[in-house]
Amino acid sequence: MSVSSLSQRSSWESLRSVSSAPSVHSEPDPFPPALAGPMVWQGKELDPKDYVIELEPAEVENVRAAVVGFKLLGLPRGSISQDTFHLKPELAYKLSAISDRVHRGSGISVVRGLHTARFNDEEAVIAFVGISSYVCSKRATDAYANQTLSKLNSLVLPNTSCHVRDATHDAVPNWAKDLGLAGSKLTTAMEFHCDRFSGDVLALYVRDDGSAQGGGEQFVASFWRIYNELLATDPDVLETLSAADWPFELKEREAKVPHLEYGPAVFFAQGKPICQIVRAPLLGSSRIPRSDTMPRVTVEQAHSLESVEKLARQFCSKVNRQNGDIQFINNLSIMHARSAYGTRTSERRSTRHLLRMFLRDPTNAWEKPTTFSDRFDDPFVEGREQELPILDLDPWRKISGRESHG
């Protein structure tokens, strides 16, 4: 499709999204026209003073008291909720308002000030989960594994949190000799992406930004701004991204041969583009190569990935970050990336350490395309026991989730 042909018809008529798998026939939904609003931003238009929320000393003390109060209940960490993590009404309201910012505002919000609480590892996990429960009440788990699993009484349990850290210097057990580390355990740079079928909101708690070893800066880019640019200058890329023929390689925990799943990289529902572009399961990497049994992306698909990456770098903003921050990022509309880290002292492990969860707020959750609603909803199936590990003791690919991240 050429730009000239686009000018002859509206984008609703000329751009079509195939939202079903190749074997399913249904009437495609139209692409929305150019988007407007606070989620369409670029570069310095995303001002930290608009997305950083400072906690007052009394509010930090309230969080600490809630952590102590939860510990006294003697409950498993998977039971952390607003009912078991008690905050004063004023702070509860302040945190709940973040969901509106993430779903209807710029798509990013940062809670700052927890570094003064000086939490130990257990307290940090409890505080992270407790605060997040006021922003989004549902936490993602994965029937397969999500990002990591820990073992409890020899049972492998679904896990809702992940430790993002440098595991490249960990001793490799014999059983893991042929396995690769998950992307969250590597120090390499990550291109712009949204984590596929993982959750509506990405939450990150910065325990240590790794500044002593250098690198690891975080960047975000509005996919809605990228969408507008592509709509105006290269709509063929949007056609390619929305086609249901992208060959995603999904790692299987026990099987030697990975699973192939076709689907779109960009979805549409109720006039909203939903970005789920992630390179790892499409291209592989030097540390985790793509299986020879998997089909390669087409020339058009490779061009589309590069086009989005180029625009994301052009329109991105560096995240204003401090130790103790909790970041909430819309995983459906805001792409995120990071630079390589640990570059100053490559001979030893970087101290960089983030905690990660994926969340959903039922009140503000976006509608998803019907054909793929089960995939978006699966991480939030009720009744799964949640394990929230204090320490990351098993970072190997065997315990990584089937859906790739980064």
Cα 214 from Cα 342, distance rounded (Å): 6
How long a stretch of residues is the chain?
Answer: 406
Give the C-alpha distances (Å, rounded to integers) separating 74 from 71, 231, 273. 6, 54, 43
Ordered DSSP codes for 234-265? -HHHHHHHHSS-EEEEE--SS-SSPEEEEE-S
Under 8 Å between Cβ of 108 and 328 = yes
Per-residue pLDDT of 262-285, as tens digits, reads: 999 999 999 999 999 999 899 987
Cα 41 from Cα 34, distance rounded (Å): 13
**Domain architecture of the chain: domains with CATH:** 3-399 (3.60.130.10)
The whole-model pTM stands at 0.86
Per-residue pLDDT of 364-382, as tens digits, reads: 999 999 999 999 999 999 8
Per-residue pLDDT of 116-166, as tens digits, reads: 999 999 999 999 999 999 999 999 986 544 332 222 222 333 455 587 775
Under 8 Å between Cβ of 107 and 39 = yes
Q: Name which residue leads in pLDDT, 207 or 287.
A: 207
- Packing angle between helix 121-135 and helix 57-73, nearest 10 degrees? 110
Spell out where 272-352 has E strands.
272-275, 317-318, 326-330, 334-338
Q: Exposed, middle or buried: residue 122 (CB in 10 Å: 0-12, 13-18, 19+)?
A: middle
In sequence order, which residues have a C-beta less than 8 Å from that of residue 110 and are 6 or more positions away?
Answer: 48, 51, 52, 53, 319, 320, 321, 325, 326, 327, 328
Report the C-alpha dihedral over residues 143, 270, 304, 195, rounded to 10 degrees. -30
**What is the identity of the amino acid at 206?**
V
Per-residue pLDDT of 294-348, as tens digits, reads: 999 999 999 999 999 999 999 999 999 999 999 999 999 999 999 988 766 556 6
